[in-house]
Each structure stands twice: as structure tokens, then as C-alpha cells.
Amino acid sequence: MRLAVLASGFGSNLQAIIDAVEGGKITGRVEVVISDQKDAYALERARRHGIGAVYINPRHFSGREAFDREVLTLLQGKNIDLVVLAGYMRLLSPVLVGGFKGKIMNIHPSLLPSFPGLEGVQQALDYGVKVSGCTVHFVDEGLDTGPVILQEAVPVYGQDTAASLQERIHEVEHRLYPRAIQLFIEGKLEIEGRRCFQNET
């Protein structure tokens, strides 16, 4: 199965996905990494592993839909089966979501529907929760509102800062995201309305 990763920054989840592919835990391959940031380290990670690395400058397009139409054309040209968002800081338009309906995943550093959007870790700390975590979900046209695939809780300690909690959540993300991708590849994920089920067939 052919995967594409969209990333805007450092790309630690991308690296976890690449490692899982190379270690046989994901039985697909990353065909291309696309970024809206020219200096995103995720692009360098892709190049180091012989993966296509593409920067698309948002300023060259009239708006979000025009940008996403360019991304969609690129993805379709490479016969991509699953689009994976890894620290991608752009909200997808209906153009891209509709073009890959049920075939776009994201990971978010909170137990959705709590603390969606930016700074999910800091939001959790500010609220004073005792448990946070991460969520892998399918992407719809809302902000972190798609059907949940996998979630895992991470305890919040009294001395936690956003950085320390983020680090522990990242450790879980790096394990959970490859697992969700492999479930998709194996055809074990089924969406019914808001809910995502794992079937064993």
C-alpha cells in the first residue's frame, strides 16, 4: 500500500512511521512526504530514507482550496492509498478531504473530543486534568472531529510542564500511529457514522 505523509515541522511521527515500515511493522511504503514549510526537517528525514520530498509553497495559491487541489493532484498522480498527517499545521479543505474520504489519518495529542486544535497539551495542563493522551482519527472537514481509530491515555503528573507531558505523549504516539496505519492496510477498520470499528476478517 502506498502512503503519503503531510508534515509541517520536525517529523518525529514521520520518523516513527518510516522506522515501522523498515522494521516490517507497516506492510506498506511511504511514497512521498509533502510539506507546506520549505525548511521542515520532515523533508530532510524523507530524503535520508530515499523517499520523495516535496515542498509546496502556500503563497503561490489563491487560497486553501487551490493549495489542496495541487496536493490532491500530486497524491492522485502517485496512486496514494492512505494520506497520513504528521504535525501538519493546515486545516484540510473539502477538496482534499473529499478526494480521499475515509483515507486520511491524523494524530492529536489529547483524548479527543477534549482539547482539539492547537496547543492540546497546554490546554490539558491549564484545565488541570489528571489524564491526557493521544488520539488517532480519520480526518473529516472539521477540526479534529473525525471518527476515532485508536486512543491511549497518559497520566498527568503534578510537576508536569507542557514539554514533559508532550514528551511522554510522543512516546505513545510513535507506537500508536504505526499500529493504526497497519490496521488500515489490513482492511480491519470500518467506519459507521461517527464510530470506527476494528473487524477481525
- By annotation, the residues acting in catalysis are 108
Q: For residues 145 and 138, give the distance between their C-alpha atoms in angstroms, rounded to a whole number.
A: 8
Q: For residues 6 and 32, give the distance between their C-alpha atoms in angstroms, rounded to a whole number.
A: 9
Residues forming beta bridges with residue 195, ordered by sequence position: 148, 192
129 three-class SS: coil
CB 64 within 8 A of CB 118: no
CA end-to-end span of the chain, whole Å?
18
CB 46 within 8 A of CB 33: yes
Residue 106 contacts by C-beta under 8 Å, 6 or more apart in sequence?
85, 88, 136, 137, 138, 139, 144, 146
For residues 85, 87, 89, 95, the Cα torsion angle rounded to the nearest 10 degrees is: 0
Q: For residues 116 and 99, give the distance between their C-alpha atoms in angstroms, rounded to a whole number.
A: 24
